[in-house]
């Protein structure tokens, strides 16, 4: 029987090879393809939807949970990162997505013990410490801006992290970790956004997550605000966090949005 380590190794090789083939064939009319390995904290918070609804274009509906909008913040420390098969070097990356209504089909992911239903989002913010990452994301239709720094605590019973977006602007979090129900979890994200020309593009992301903790309750401290127009204002928020050490992801970026 294959060990977990060998299974993951085979999977990663498959994803990397597939990513290279995708880059060469330009399937789905995507502008670019990426593959990355990262340690990741995924932080969920629920906020008043009023300031967020105006950011979503017509034809897309903000997903409300008990009257609140759901926001996902991804903090990623990525030692390996490839765009169109080319290694760009270690990267710290931040994404901020708003949940919108969409299909919840299950798209199988090789190697996952459990695959979650597809999640649909609208991109609010993308940032990176790596100029090549910023350049490639922006050229693929998702504006990416420089961030100052990012730090993730190592796995443990209590953990957190912090991101400095710029002078007097950033956030930090602290949680009490909860044991996961599965160690290898698959997830698909459909992430919509506007390119520099105002067109709606779609980024399709598929990830295999090596889970160290799930549904970890804690708090998020925001300084200076986050997102377009600082739609997430300064303050302290209750959050639920998931921790993946590591995760592997591939994505096709900049596809024309379906009619």
Per-residue pLDDT of the chain (259 residues), as tens digits, is 344 444 455 455 445 444 443 443 444 578 999 999 999 999 999 999 998 999 999 899 999 999 999 999 999 999 999 999 999 999 999 999 999 999 999 999 999 999 999 999 999 999 999 999 999 999 999 999 999 999 999 888 889 999 999 989 999 999 999 888 878 999 999 999 999 899 999 999 999 999 999 999 999 999 999 999 999 999 999 999 999 999 999 999 999 998 7
- Residue 80's pLDDT is what? 97
Distance CA 175, CA 178 (A): 9
Identify the CATH number of the domain in which residue 149 sits. 2.40.400.10
> What's the total number of domains in the chain?
1
Rounded to the nearest 5°, which phi and psi values hold at 51? -75, -10
- Residue 109's pLDDT is what? 93
Task: Check whether the bond before 121 is cis (ω within 30° of 0).
Answer: no
| Parent domain of 112 | 4-256
- Residue 11's pLDDT is what? 52
Distance CA 109, CA 245 (A): 18
- Residue 19's pLDDT is what? 46
What's the pTM? Answer: 0.89
């Amino acid at each position: 029987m294959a060990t977990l380590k060998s299974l993951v190794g085979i999977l990663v090789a498959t994803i990397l090879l597939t990513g290279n083939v995708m880059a060469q064939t330009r399937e789905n009319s995507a502008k670019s393809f990426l593959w990355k390995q990262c340690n990741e904290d995924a932080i969920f918070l629920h906020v008043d939807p009023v300031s967020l609804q105006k950011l979503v274009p017509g034809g897309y509906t903000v997903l409300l949970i008990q009257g609140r909008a759901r926001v996902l913040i991804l903090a990623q420390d990525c030692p390996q990162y490839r765009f169109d098969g080319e290694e760009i070097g270690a990267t710290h990356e931040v994404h901020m997505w708003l949940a919108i209504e969409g299909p919840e089909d299950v798209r199988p992911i090789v190697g996952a013990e459990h695959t979650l239903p597809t999640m649909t989002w609208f991109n609010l913010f993308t940032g990176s410490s790596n100029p090549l990452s910023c350049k490639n994301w922006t050229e693929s239709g998702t504006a990416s801006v420089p961030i100052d720094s990012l730090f993730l605590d190592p796995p443990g019973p209590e953990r957190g992290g912090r991101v400095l977006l710029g002078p007097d602007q950033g956030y930090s979090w602290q949680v009490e970790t909860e044991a996961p129900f599965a160690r290898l979890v698959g997830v698909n994200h459909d992430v919509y956004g506007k390119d520099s020309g105002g067109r709606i593009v779609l980024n399709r992301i598929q990830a295999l997550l090596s889970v160290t903790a799930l549904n970890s309750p804690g708090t998020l401290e925001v300084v200076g605000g986050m997102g377009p127009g600082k739609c997430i204002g300064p303050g302290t928020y209750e959050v639920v966090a998931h921790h993946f050490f590591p995760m592997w992801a591939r994505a096709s970026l900049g596809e024309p949005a379906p009619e």
